Amino acid sequence: MSGNRVVVYQGPGEVSVETIDYPKLELPDDVATGLGIKKAAPHAAILKLVATNICGSDQHMVRGRTTAPVGQTLGHEITGEVVELGDDVLFAKEGDICSVPFNIACGRCRMCDEGKTGICLNVNPARAGAAYGYVDMGGWIGGQAEYVMVPYADFNLLRFPDRDQALEKILDLTMLSDIFPTGYHGAYTAGVTTGSTVYVAGAGPVGLAAAHAAQLLGASVVVVGDMLPDRLAQARSFGCETVDLSQSGELADKLAEVLGEPEVDAAVDAVGFEARGHGQGADEAPATVLNDIMSVARAGASLGIPGLYVTGDPGGVDEHAKIGQVGVRLGLGWAKSHSFATGQCPVKQYNRKLMNLILNEKAQIAKAVNATTIPLDGAADGYREFDQGAAKKYVIDPHATIGG
């Protein structure tokens, strides 16, 4: 192969599709040099992308709200066909169609042994944890591309058992790389169970995935809050209640109108650090959602926080926000004995079980998030429309596999 086309960040609001070298079975220079390990990766596989998605986390970079440099390759939601294997890969086979967790993990360190694959110690010299195509995450090439290299393939690849069935359900299965496990992790760590009442802040794809996951976990009522009418309508399309945060008024009062009481059993922050205050034209206020969910979650509740918070935000509203320091009412959470679950979702804890739900018609995640297919050359338009609040989850189809 002579090259590999991949989506590249070109500065705030701009992406392009560029041709780079075809992947090699080698670790990134940052990883090999920084950790003092061999660059050769006989444990790796190369995948031909079947589907790769635009994520809200990517959008933070493209908005210029991270320290991502121009030239950063993008994409960490990867589903593909194995086309090349290193000599040390024992169990994956060429032709397998697989989901790839967005967290890159070695399968050999203490964190991986404990199932905490989002904070693997051997894939990023800068900090615990790594991801494809993301700033400060180890220098791994992004997966919004034609081809991608996956290290530690026997550990990281989730093989779909039947190729034809996988292709038939690919719009659902492509969500296993990130947002379905991430949304499920948010709901699960919030303690959602049979009969729970649940509030999910944010009706973007992760919020919708969390809402669908809460339904699967047995919630009696799931209420989704957002400011965009189309996204609220999407939440209602699969049985959620909604509250419109573009209208003035206290969140507790809005919930009381739906539930008959001003609090919920479990709450999820699926918005993150670019949160805004309530009401028309509200300014950015990054602690809004964290404070909201503490205010409406009952005493003793758990709070799931899959929404992204960063340590470097050039566009932060003040000097504190620029380093990820936000005005959380921790005293309120302490007084109510809340517990908080944050950080990257450890995808491997959930993806196989969620795959089984999809394959056995128990989960309809593509419908919940309104999966919409676009070509690789349509990535710039997809990012632009997503940034404008489209109630869609954009699925890039680099090889025109999905339709045909």
When pLDDT is cut at 50, 70 and 90, the band that residue 2 belongs to is: confident
* Separation between Cα atoms, residue 44 and residue 156, nearest integer Å: 10
Closest Cα partner for 376 from 147, 61, 39?
147
Q: What is the DSSP letter of 135?
A: T
* Separation between Cα atoms, residue 309 and residue 312, nearest integer Å: 9
- With beta carbons less than 8 A apart as the criterion, state whether 18 and 5 touch: yes
* Separation between Cα atoms, residue 11 and residue 208, nearest integer Å: 29
Q: Which helix (H) or strand (E) holds 208?
A: helix 205-216
* Topology of domain 179-341, CATH: Rossmann fold (3.40.50)
For the residues 250-258, what does the mean pLDDT come to?
97
Q: Residue 85, SS3?
A: strand
Q: Residue 235, SS3?
A: helix
Which pair of tokens denotes residue 130? 């790594």
- With beta carbons less than 8 A apart as the criterion, state whether 297 and 263 touch: yes
Q: What is the pLDDT of residues 31-66, one digit of tens each?
A: 999 999 999 999 999 999 999 999 999 999 999 999
DSSP-assigned letters across all residues of 60-84: HHHTT-S-PPTT-B----EEEEEEE
Q: What is the DSSP letter of 236?
A: H
Q: What is the pLDDT of residue 212?
A: 98
When pLDDT is cut at 50, 70 and 90, the band that residue 213 belongs to is: very high
Q: What is the pLDDT of residue 1?
A: 62
* Separation between Cα atoms, residue 260 and residue 52, nearest integer Å: 41
Q: What is the pLDDT of residue 353?
A: 98
For the residues 332-357, what does the mean pLDDT come to?
97
Question: Is the pLDDT at 404 greater than 50, yes or no?
Answer: no
Q: What is the pLDDT of residues 153-205, one digit of tens each?
A: 999 999 999 999 999 999 999 999 999 999 999 999 999 999 999 999 999 99
Distances (CA, A) of 18 to 8, 9, 81, 365: 7, 10, 22, 31
* Separation between Cα atoms, residue 321 and residue 310, nearest integer Å: 9
Question: Is the pLDDT at 280 greater than 90, yes or no?
Answer: no
* Topology of domain 4-178+345-396, CATH: Quinone Oxidoreductase; Chain A, domain 1 (3.90.180)
Q: What is the pLDDT of residues 288-321, one digit of tens each?
A: 999 999 999 999 999 999 999 999 999 999 999 9
What distance lies between CA 195 and its chain's CA centroid? 26
Question: Is the pLDDT at 124 greater than 60, yes or no?
Answer: yes
| Residue spans per domain, the chain | 4-178+345-396, 179-341
Contacts of 109 (CB under 8 A, 6+ apart): 120, 121, 122
Q: Among all chains, which residue has been given the structure tokens 């996951």?
A: 213
Q: What is the pLDDT of residue 240?
A: 98
Phi and psi (nearest 5°) for 165?
A: -65, -40
